[in-house]
Amino acid sequence: MINDKKVLFSGMQATGTLTLGNYAGALKNWVQLSDQYQCFYSVVDLHSITIRRDPADLRKRARDLLALYIAAGLDPKKNCIYYQSHVSAHAELAWILNCFTYMGELNRMTQFKDKSRKHQDNINAGLFTYPVLMAADILLYQADVVPVGLDQMQHLELTRDIAQRFNKIYGDVFTVPEPYVGKAGANIKSLQEPDKKMSKSDENPNASIYLTDDPDTVMRKCKRAVTDSGSEILYRDDKPGIRNLIDIYCAMTGKTPGETEKEFEGKGYGQFKEAVGESVVAQLRPLQERFAQVSADKAYLSGIIKENGEKASYFATKTLRKVQQKIGFPARP
């Protein structure tokens, strides 16, 4: 608890261009939860270097992501929005937690398996221990809740296991976090292959809606989205294309799948796709406008980065010192 509020932690990688999946599965929920909790939202740039990055590009993307958090509606005076690389406690706790995590556990991580298949020339140790760094992120702030999309659930379960294992040996050091998955949008799929998740790294640009897409591009991508045989708008497992579009529509409008089926009863795929596109444009337009304003104000952003980096360091170091003391590292004179 901080100031009588429960603590929330979440983060996103500063890589690629953010997709509607990142928005619907994470960012949108972050904004909705931000009043209830004491929130830490990190731009997780340490996580980004498991794949080779151009330094200037990484720096730019990290800054853009930070500005996007603010543009989406997170007030940086109330929410601690900061760069992970500015708080050295993340890497320090990750090392300690590495010693409390088993190879067998990390071997089971599906994201590690997927990413090693994709980057066979660079299967580095960081890629393997990535979930431990994620556990360190969360446990450093004693987070009660972690809003994520479904693809991160396995990492969250591992975080809970590590926390419980550590607490069993040393007493109640860490809060064991609960995942938070929103009602709609936790698992947005590719528009071209609806059995795959919508991903920043998809090579087919028509598979993903990017948060930077202009209205025409959004409408075109929605119209070209792969749909199923038949013509009815039904939320069913055997209609993965339409089901995904209904998920998007619900995440954008707050409606339920049942309400959406009723709304489009007797209407065709064409009309529905148009409505999905418009619902996305209605969310992205103000986000993009606000993003342009926030990113233009360089002095304001720099102030936020400094202030919030220090705030995050304060809370993170508090936990780190406690952990170091419990383990038996010498006290600082």
> 29 near 184, Cβ under 8 Å?
no
Considering 28, 115, 221, 273, which one is annotated as catalytic?
115
Told to check if 12 binds ligand TYM by CB under 6 A, we report yes
User: Cβ 57 to ligand TYM, closest distance in Å?
Assistant: 16
Stretch that binds ligand TYM, among 50-58, 149-157, 265-273, 304-312 (CB under 6 A): 149-157
Considering 6, 77, 78, 197, which one is annotated as catalytic?
197
Considering 200, 223, 267, 326, which one is annotated as catalytic?
200
d(CA 8, CA 148): 11
User: Cβ 231 to ligand TYM, closest distance in Å?
Assistant: 26
User: Cβ 22 to ligand TYM, closest distance in Å?
Assistant: 4
Using CB under 6 A as the binding rule, the residues of this chain from 16 to 45 that contact ligand TYM are: 21-22, 24-26, 44
Helices 269-296 and 240-253: angle between axes, nearest 10 degrees: 50
How far CA 191 is from CA of 79, 234, 268, in Å, comes to 33, 17, 18
The DSSP line for 48-117 is: HTTS---HHHHHHHHHHHHHHHHHTT--TTTSEEEEGGG-THHHHHHHHHHTTS-HHHHHT-HHHHHHHH
Options 17, 98, 187, 256; binder of ligand TYM; rule CB under 6 A? 187
Told to check if 134 binds ligand TYM by CB under 6 A, we report yes
Beta bridge partners of 293: none
Told to check if 13 binds ligand TYM by CB under 6 A, we report yes
Looking only at the bridges linking them, the beta strands covering 7-12 and 38-43 are parallel
User: Cβ 47 to ligand TYM, closest distance in Å?
Assistant: 5
User: Cβ 152 to ligand TYM, closest distance in Å?
Assistant: 4
The question of whether 200 is a catalytic residue gets the answer yes
Options 47, 115, 160, 243; binder of ligand TYM; rule CB under 6 A? 47
Binding site for ligand TYM (CB under 6 A): 9-13, 21-22, 24-26, 44, 47, 134, 137-138, 146, 148-149, 151-152, 186-188, 197-198
Residues known to be catalytic = 115, 197, 200
